[in-house]
Amino acid sequence: MIIRSKAPLRLGLAGGGTDVSPYADLHGGSILNATINMYAHTTIIPTTDGKIRLEAQDMEVVETLDSALFLEPTGKLALLKGVYNRIIKDYVKEPLSFQIYTRVDAPPGSGLGSSSTLVVSILGAFAEWCNIPLGEYDLAHLAYEIERIDLGLAGGRQDQYAATFGGFNFMEFYKDDKVIVNPLRIKQRYAAELEHNLVLFYMGTSRESAKIIEKQTQNISNSNEAAIEATHRLKVQSVRMKESILMGKIDEIGEVMHIGWESKKQMATGISNPEIDKIYDTALQNGATGGKISGAGGGGYFFFYCPRVSRTKLIKSLEPFGVEAQQYHFTREGLYTYTINE
């Protein structure tokens, strides 16, 4: 028997940071995101040897442990151990013996939600194997609890829901971890035009998003007025971008992104730096009307809105910075799991 799952990574188009506590608890947050055809993959092969073999194939990290009710969630494979522990504690109640293999189509710290998406993928594979009846909201919330509470990793709430539901979603975040996912019915030609004009670049650097998010959290907790007002503007930006996409006013998106980027930089230090600022300014001088970093900031993936026929000019203008344009497509499907009986 082989159990497989995959969950899509996402682009955070607008409102990023408003899903992070305590802002979401105090003021309510909203985010617009869309999943793309880059995935977190999981394979589970049940065994009977009393062992648990964990392998992150993209990181070339392997651990073999004795089957147990609890695995100490330390090291580079803490996400895998954290999901296993919660599955055993809440559902299975007895040790399991298996091999598990994971890989992600983007590097850690890329800003595409890779860590949370991997948790969703692992959780989905276990739910498929153990016949655990988890609905989409239940699974996404459980993934959030594993990452943020069980493992104590700083971050927001959008990634787990994006990976689980898939597609274009406008998400609302409230106190007590309440989340409402609103799938958007976007006309195909609008989505195609957005995909054509939105150019994704990999900057070749990863960043520690948790540290940036911790600074955001501190600023909100300490009533930093500038940071709070900037986050308010990002929430407004998410609503405006949703309306622009639904109504087919696609070329407004660059302007909305630019406003959002200027606001995001005021949320915490480390979101931008002189090199990123130079890349952004060069992009604006070569056809882009706006852009943003996907995720918390500091590096990873950057994307720009390039209307009409400015895409090629923009890509060439950024070549001296060593950044690489990444091909992608929007996807409509979220987490997908299946079993093969050998």
Q: Between the CA of residue 90 and those of 77, 95, 130, 132, 154, what are the distances in Å?
A: 20, 12, 12, 10, 23
CATH number of the domain residue 220 falls in: 3.30.70.890
Q: Are residues 173 and 28 in the same domain?
A: yes
- 80 close to 122: Cβ distance less than 8 angstroms: yes
pLDDT for 223 equals 80
> In this structure, is residue 331 part of a structural domain?
no
Each of the 342 residues of the chain gets a pLDDT tens digit; together they read 999 999 999 999 999 889 988 888 989 999 999 999 999 999 999 999 999 999 999 999 999 999 999 999 999 999 999 999 999 999 999 999 999 999 999 887 778 889 999 999 999 999 999 999 999 999 999 999 999 999 998 888 999 999 999 999 999 999 888 999 999 999 999 999 999 999 999 887 655 566 667 777 787 888 888 888 888 989 999 999 999 999 999 989 999 999 888 887 777 666 778 888 899 999 999 999 999 887 655 667 889 999 999 999 999 999 999 888 989 999 999 999 999 997
d(CA 163, CA 55): 21
Q: Are residues 25 and 159 in the same domain?
A: yes
- 82 close to 102: Cβ distance less than 8 angstroms: no
Beta bridge partners of 276: none
- 24 close to 174: Cβ distance less than 8 angstroms: yes
The alpha-carbon radius of gyration of the chain (Å, integer) is 20
Q: Are residues 283 and 218 in the same domain?
A: yes
CATH number of the domain residue 78 falls in: 3.30.230.10
Q: Are residues 84 and 156 in the same domain?
A: yes
pLDDT for 109 equals 73
Q: How would you class 145 by CB atoms within 10 Å of its CB: exposed for 0-12, middle for 13-18, buried for 19 or more?
A: middle
Q: Are residues 232 and 163 in the same domain?
A: no
What's the full length of the chain, in residues?
342
- 19 close to 157: Cβ distance less than 8 angstroms: yes
Say whether the peptide bond before residue 108 is cis (omega within 30 degrees of 0).
Answer: no
pLDDT for 272 equals 76
Both tokens of 316, joined, read 């060439």
Q: Between the CA of residue 336 and those of 111, 136, 171, 208, what are the distances in Å?
A: 22, 11, 21, 28
| Residue of 58, 159, 177, 277 marked catalytic | 159
Q: Are residues 275 and 301 in the same domain?
A: yes
Q: Are residues 143 and 237 in the same domain?
A: no
Q: What 3-state class would DSSP assign to 229?
A: helix
d(CA 217, CA 283): 30
For the question of whether the overall pTM of this predicted structure is more than 0.85, the answer is yes
Give me the number of domains the chain comprises. 2
Q: Are residues 156 and 290 in the same domain?
A: no
Say whether the peptide bond before residue 22 is cis (omega within 30 degrees of 0).
Answer: yes
pLDDT for 159 equals 95
> In this structure, is residue 255 part of a structural domain?
yes
Q: Between the CA of residue 214 and those of 105, 143, 268, 290, 294, what are the distances in Å?
A: 26, 20, 9, 26, 17
Q: Are residues 257 and 206 in the same domain?
A: yes
pLDDT for 207 equals 56
Range of the domain at 294: 188-326
SS (H, E, C) 18-45: CCCCCHHHHHCEEEEEEEEEEEEEEEEE
Residue 159 designated active-site? yes
Both tokens of 175, joined, read 């106190």
Q: Which of 136, 154, 142, 177 is nearest to 29 (CA)?
A: 177
pLDDT for 282 equals 96
pLDDT for 297 equals 59
